[in-house]
Structure formats: structure tokens, C-alpha cells
Amino acid sequence: MTALAQSLPSLQHVLTLTDDVGIIQHARENVPNRSTGYCTDDVARALIVALMRLRCVEDDVEAWRLVSIYLAYLCDAQTSDGRFRNFMSYERAWLDDLGSHDSVGRAIWSLGYGVRFAPDAAWRRVCAGMLERTLASIDWLTPLRAQAYAILGLAHAVEHDGGSASLAALRALAKSLASAYEHERGEGWEWFEAVMTYDNARLPEALLRAGAALDDPGLIAIGQTSLAFLEHVVFEAGIFVPIGNAGWFPRGGPRARYAQQPLEASAMIDAELAAFAAFGDPAHRDAAHAAAAWYLGKNLGGVVMAHGGGCYDGLEADGPNRNMGAESTLAYLAAAYALE
């Protein structure tokens, strides 16, 4: 067990950021910044984290309360065609008619996770109903990360009941993601796009989990190869060095080393755990622990990123961004709970 999971982090900062509507997006250091309001992106992440917490601590009263809050937000966010709005002001007014592709993909991910793991039968039914309504618009999810997020949720639904209505959608999205990989890969570049950007490990993870749910060795093989390529890029002498937001990593060009985001470590942990489940190779478990160590100071800056159940928003060349918003905090908690 990694040090990240030995002392299971609390939901304290999540509780600080959450009110009776949802989880506030951003913070000034550890103080919620109410003017930034709420978003489906973060509420979906928060729903998964609250359910993960209940898998670790079944009688966590606060986690039970949080699940209801986040599910209520998603119910209100869903549009008549099954997609989702994203941004809501602190005054409870929707700011868009339709959210981003990523936000819709993450909502689908959280619903599939709820279908499989929610401990309350009513929650599972609510998640299943919302998930079924999304299927009519699933072809709208063309960006690769949005497809990957949806694949993760659909794979959970299919694992829950193999005859799920999600099966055809899972096959279609996995085929699309695999096709992107086959189109873009080449000598020295085993990847899905011409630029590595954000949340990179979710792409191989999605194919590993889809391959397991669909019993498709071809998808698993692509997930394995692309994950191995990503490992070669982001691990340096055992230290996790994710692609930074300050320039990304274009094929044939330099890779950005700073503006490192906490969600990258969480995604890497999940991908490595998916690979460990698929192949049983302890090297994947070790890689997950190495990515987890990023939060605890084994990073380029030697900075402990996690504090009091929250996480700094990023690592720059001159030190951390000390704001502790929802995305960063939820990434850290998801990482710890996944390892637990």
C-alpha cells in the first residue's frame, strides 16, 4: 500500500467547497471562491469521489449526503436530449444551454460509476435512467477525451449487467478511439493524437477497461501499447513528470515540464491499476505508486501538493499554485481512494 492510501484523506476540503447546490469550482488558497459558481465537470468528478469514499468507508454520513447533492445537480443539468448543461452561477442560474463535450463525457462516466457502485438502490436507478437518456446523443461525443470519459462510464455499466443498453454505445466509442490511435501512430509515436495534452492516461485506460468489459483483446493491446509509450514519456528515474499545460508535447517537438496538473497523476494511477488488473504485472502497481508519490513531494519541485484533504492546483517552475480548487482536490482524493 502506498503512503497516499495508508492514511486515507478526509473529505474535509470537499465539504468546505460544497454547499446544498454542488461543489464550487475554484478557491483562493483553501477558501471557496463563490464567484466562480459550479460546473458539471466538477460535480461529476465529485460524485465519483463520494461513491469511492463509500466503497472505502461504508458508513461515512457526509459522503452519503454529498452523493445526493451531486446527483440532484446532474438531474437538473440534463437536457431533454440527454446531454448536460455545464456552468451554473452561484445564484443558481444556468449559464449555458449545453455544456462542453468533456463535461458531458464526465457526466456519463459518473453515471456509469453510480450504476455499478452506488450502495443505494434508488441512486442506482436514478443513474441508470439518466445514463439511458444520454445514449440517443452519444454520437455527438467526437473529441477523444470526451469519448474516453464516456467509455469509462459505459464500461462500468456493462460490467454491472452485461446485457446493458450501454453495450452498443461502448463498442462504438471504443472503435472510434482505437481508430484514432491507428490513424495517428507511427515510428516513435504510439499515441492517439499529434499532440499530447491533458488527462493523457485516460485514453489508454479507456481502451483497457473497454477491452475488459467487451472481452476484446485488440482494444486491450492498444491500451497496453499506448500506456507503455506514455510511461516512457512521463517517468524520469522513477519520478512522475506529467506533460505540463505550458506548451503540451507536440509530436517531434519539446515537451512542457511545468504547469503540471494534479489530474494527470490521478489518471496515471487509474490507467496503471487497469493494466495491473489486465496483466497482473506488478510493474504497473509500482508505476501507480510512483504517480501517487507526486502528491506527496516526489516531483520535480520536491513540493508536497496535498494538504488537509485538499490539493494545490498545479506545479510551476517557481513552486506550487497554492489555490486548492475542486478539480485538483478531487483528483487527489480519487487517487488515494483508488489505491485504497
Domain ranges for the chain, please list them: 3-339
Q: What pLDDT does residue 3 have?
A: 66
Rounded distance, CA 262 to CA 131, Å? 28
Task: Please name the CATH architecture into which domain 3-339 falls.
Answer: Alpha/alpha barrel (1.50)
Q: What pLDDT does residue 162 have?
A: 83
pLDDT along the chain (340 residues), means of 10: 72 98 98 98 98 97 98 98 98 98 98 98 98 96 98 97 89 98 97 98 98 98 98 97 97 97 98 98 98 98 97 98 98 97
**Exposed, middle or buried by CB within 10 Å (0-12, 13-18, 19+), for 282?**
exposed
299 close to 306: Cβ distance less than 8 angstroms: no
1 close to 339: Cβ distance less than 8 angstroms: yes
Q: What pLDDT does residue 7 have?
A: 78
Amino acid letter, 239:
I
Does this model's pTM top 0.85? My answer is: yes
Rounded distance, CA 214 to CA 4, Å? 32
Phi, psi of 196 (to 5 degrees): -80, 125
CA 89 to each of CA 42, 68, 158, 162, 249: distance values in angstroms, whole numbers, following the listed order: 14, 20, 35, 39, 34
**Exposed, middle or buried by CB within 10 Å (0-12, 13-18, 19+), for 81?**
exposed
